[in-house]
């Protein structure tokens, strides 16, 4: 009889035999703890997914605005879900503006954009990796000074040197030597060379940040790796390529993604270096205007209606973002991994 009572009031963890009151008190405390945990989790998820919602909301609105008919733009009862699904604006943008720029072989905006972005991304990744590695794994006098210069390049607003930058590329020279010897000027504008040049010399958009991130990544690798490679007879370059680089894949992919995307959506460098060559970001910037210029002849009205301009900009944004979105869904795991990786402590 007594054994039955005992088996009823046994603490599940410590297997102590308890009196009913004690048992109830413990049970209550356990419930309280559990409830607290559940409450905390609820708050946590509300915050996290709330922020996710705030981030995703503009995308959703963009999409919703893009796929509605023009009548729905003025319908006050339509907020998120359009009453009339239609791609008429997209179709007319395609017919009036984009068709000529995409369907030709010469000065094709898609080819131009992909080419400049790829070039910038590859060169910047290579150069920043070298520089970041140099900062992370070597000790030499003047290191902090040079790192200060990297930060300086990041801090000076690019617009400060915009004009002289373009003059420099128009009159490209290496410390006046070419000019002095050959008495000619080398015009690099309207070509992809400036993108490659500033990429290879780690002077592209926010390259200081990339250098910093890569430095941080390599800094945390154990010194024993290097020493083992040295004992096995590998030189500095070989150590870099065969020992260090393979462990940095995820940060390299992240940097590549950053460089690619920021070149894709960039208007500053394409504004400085390219005049006649068209890229997506520049076309998007004036999409509403050029659409209206082509459309106006049919309708005698000088200003584009606000709602229509907004819709056109939303559609344009989606067209520019879509490839990036696809790229990001494939590469985001490297992003997350790069965070985990840089946590290795030597």
Partner 1 sequence: MNFKKLPYSLLVKICSIVAFVCMFFPLVVVSNGGQVFTKYNGWNLISGIDFSASLDVLAETQQTATMDIMLLVVACMIISAVALSVKNKYGLRIGAIASGLGALATGLFIVEMNNGLAMRIAAIAADSQYSFTSWPEFSYTAVLFTMLGVLVLQFAITVLANIFSPINEVQTTLLQKRAITGYMFLMPFIVGFLLFFLTPAIKSLVFSFSLVDVHGTGGYTVNPAGWYESATGTIFVPANYYRALLVNVDYPTYLLTSIGNLCTTLPLVVIFSFFAAVLLNRAFKGRGFVRAVFFMPVILTSGVILAIETSDVLMSTMQASFQSQVSSSGSTGMQAFELQTMLTALNIPEKIVTAVMSVVNNLYAIISASGVQILVFLAALQSVPRSLYEASSIEGATGWEDFWKITLPMVSPYFVVNIVYTVVDCFTSAAKIGDQYSSYSSILDYIYDVSFVQMDYGLGSAMSWIYFLCIALIMAVVVAIVNRFVFYYDER
The nearer residue to partner 1, 105 or 155, going by C-beta atoms, is 155
What is the smallest separation between the CB atom of 242 and partner 1, expressed in angstroms? 16
What is the smallest separation between the CB atom of 128 and partner 1, expressed in angstroms? 9
What is the smallest separation between the CB atom of 178 and partner 1, expressed in angstroms? 9
In 3D space, the residue among 63, 77, 69, 94 whose CA is nearest the CA of residue 308 turns out to be 69
Query: What count of residues does the chain have?
Result: 346
| Subset of residues 44 to 103 that bind partner 1, contact rule: CB under 8 A | 44-45, 47-49, 51-52, 54-59, 73-76, 78-79
What is the smallest separation between the CB atom of 285 and partner 1, expressed in angstroms? 6
Contact segment (CB under 8 A) with partner 1 among 20-28, 91-99, 101-109, 327-335 equals: 327-335
The answer to whether 267 contacts partner 1 (rule: CB under 8 A) is: yes
The answer to whether 156 contacts partner 1 (rule: CB under 8 A) is: yes
The nearer residue to partner 1, 191 or 332, going by C-beta atoms, is 332
Residue owning tokens 């024993």: 224
| Subset of residues 303 to 322 that bind partner 1, contact rule: CB under 8 A | 306-307, 309-310, 313, 316-317, 320-321
| Nearest-angstrom CA–CA distance, 40 and 46 | 10
Per CB under 8 A, the list member of 67, 116, 188, 266 interacting with partner 1 is 266
| Subset of residues 200 to 229 that bind partner 1, contact rule: CB under 8 A | 200-203, 209, 211-213, 216, 219-220
What is the smallest separation between the CB atom of 3 and partner 1, expressed in angstroms? 38
| Nearest-angstrom CA–CA distance, 256 and 233 | 31
Q: Which residues contact 230 (CB under 8 A, 6 or more apart)?
A: 239
| Nearest-angstrom CA–CA distance, 29 and 345 | 39
Residue owning tokens 């950053």: 258
Q: What DSSP letter does each residue of 17-46 carry, written as one string? A: B--HHHHHHHHHHHHHHHHHHHHHHHHHHH
Mark 224-253 with x for binding to partner 1 (rule: CB under 8 A) and - for no binding. ------------x-----------------
The nearer residue to partner 1, 18 or 168, going by C-beta atoms, is 168
Q: What DSSP letter does each residue of 283-323 carry, written as one string? A: HHHTHHHHHHHHHGGGS--SS--HHHHHHHHHHHHHHHHHH
Per CB under 8 A, the list member of 70, 101, 179, 290 interacting with partner 1 is 179
Give the CA diameter of the chain.
112
């Amino acid at each position: 009889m007594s054994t039955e009572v005992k088996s009823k009031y046994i603490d599940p963890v410590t297997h102590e035999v308890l009196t009913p009151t004690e048992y109830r008190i413990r049970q209550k405390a356990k419930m309280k703890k559990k409830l607290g945990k559940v409450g905390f989790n609820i708050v946590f998820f509300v915050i996290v997914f709330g922020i996710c919602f705030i981030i995703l909301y503009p995308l959703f609105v963009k999409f919703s605005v893009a796929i509605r008919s023009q009548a729905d733009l003025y319908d006050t009862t339509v907020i998120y879900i359009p009453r009339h699904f239609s791609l008429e604006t997209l179709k007319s943008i395609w017919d009036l503006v984009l068709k000529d720029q995409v369907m030709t072989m010469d000065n094709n905006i898609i080819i131009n954009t992909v080419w400049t972005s790829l070039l910038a991304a590859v060169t910047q990744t290579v150069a920043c990796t070298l520089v970041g590695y140099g900062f992370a794994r070597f000790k030499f006098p003047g290191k902090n000074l040079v790192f200060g210069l990297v930060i300086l390049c990041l801090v000076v607003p690019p617009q400060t040197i915009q004009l002289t930058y373009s003059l420099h590329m128009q009159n490209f020279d290496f410390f006046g030597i070419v000019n002095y010897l050959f008495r000619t000027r080398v015009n690099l504008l309207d070509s992809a060379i400036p993108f490659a040049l500033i990429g290879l010399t780690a002077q592209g958009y926010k390259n200081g940040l990339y250098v910093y991130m890569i430095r941080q990544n390599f800094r945390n690798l154990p010194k024993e790796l290097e020493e083992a490679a040295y004992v096995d007879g590998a030189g500095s370059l070989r150590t870099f390529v065969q020992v260090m680089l393979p462990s940095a894949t995820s940060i390299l992919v992240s940097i590549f993604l950053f460089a690619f995307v920021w070149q894709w959506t960039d208007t500053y460098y394409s504004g400085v270096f390219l005049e006649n060559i068209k890229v997506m970001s520049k076309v998007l910037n004036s999409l509403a205007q050029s659409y209206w210029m082509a459309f106006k002849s049919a309708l005698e009205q000088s200003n584009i209606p606000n709602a229509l301009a907004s819709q056109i900009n939303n559609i344009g944004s989606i067209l520019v973002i879509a490839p990036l979105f696809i790229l990001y869904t494939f590469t985001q795991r490297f992003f997350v991994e790069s965070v985990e990786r840089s946590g290795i402590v030597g």
